[in-house]
Amino acid sequence: MSHLGNSRHQPILCYVTDRHILTRVAPADALETLLRIICSAAAAGIDWIQIREKDLSGRDCASLTREALKRAAAPSALGANSSRIFVNDRLDVALAERAGGVHLGEKSLAIQEAKRLADSRGRGGNFLIGVSTHSLGEARSAARDGADYIFFGPVFATPSKAFYGPPQGLERLAEVCRAFSIPVLAIGGITLENAPSCLSAGAAGIAAIRLFQDAPDLKSVVQTVRKLAP
């Protein structure tokens, strides 16, 4: 099995966390609720889980990551493939807690420096470094600098990605997918209805917050997306 997903015939599914948009959850209960969703996501067969809680302190992010790794690996969560846990931006936390990778943003550490630090900690061989991109130029730079995968978007309109400008659309997604050999995951406004179009455009997978976090039946969502894949 490739370290980048289930198999080359199945899309990579990535759940990106955001406890701030959890519905009907008191702030004091948000982290525990998030951990329960992470456990459910692992049990449902989601390939990657990215912890994206940018406002947490380093200590709290490390604690959340540690517990997420434990729960995702628990016997009740294990399916045919165990989920890989990524940490958004915090390379120090990802390395210290032995997460499966780090996802870098525009203001994060440079890819080459992140790779150097991962190598120095003996994690280079099985530690993935991904990058969020919002244009062909950004995607080209990330691929050139050695990213293991990229997120491209927002493909469709979504409140969480409004800051990054108007939707890129399927045509630009297809252009990026054709241009690079590394996996490109579509992100931004992904739903069960439009996910097949992203995969048909050449995306190696999809990344989403609400599609997975708000799902009353995560296993059903995962199975549906896998069946819809071209």
> Could you tell me the domains of the chain?
12-228 (3.20.20.70)
3-class SS of residue 200: helix
C-alpha 168/C-alpha 189 separation (Å) is 11
CB hemisphere CA count around 58 (13 angstroms):
7
pTM score, whole prediction? 0.92
Rg of the Cα trace of the chain? Answer: 16
Upstream peptide bond of 154 is cis (omega within 30 degrees of 0)? yes
Q: pLDDT per position in the chain (230 positions), as tens?
A: 345 655 457 899 999 999 999 988 999 999 999 999 999 999 999 999 999 999 999 999 999 999 999 999 875 555 545 799 999 999 999 999 999 999 998 888 999 999 999 999 988 778 999 999 999 999 999 999 999 999 999 999 877 655 656 789 999 999 999 999 999 999 999 999 999 999 999 999 999 999 999 999 999 999 999 988 77
C-alpha 75/C-alpha 79 separation (Å) is 9
Per-residue CA distances from 175 to 47, 117, 134, 150, 230 (Å): 25, 32, 12, 14, 18
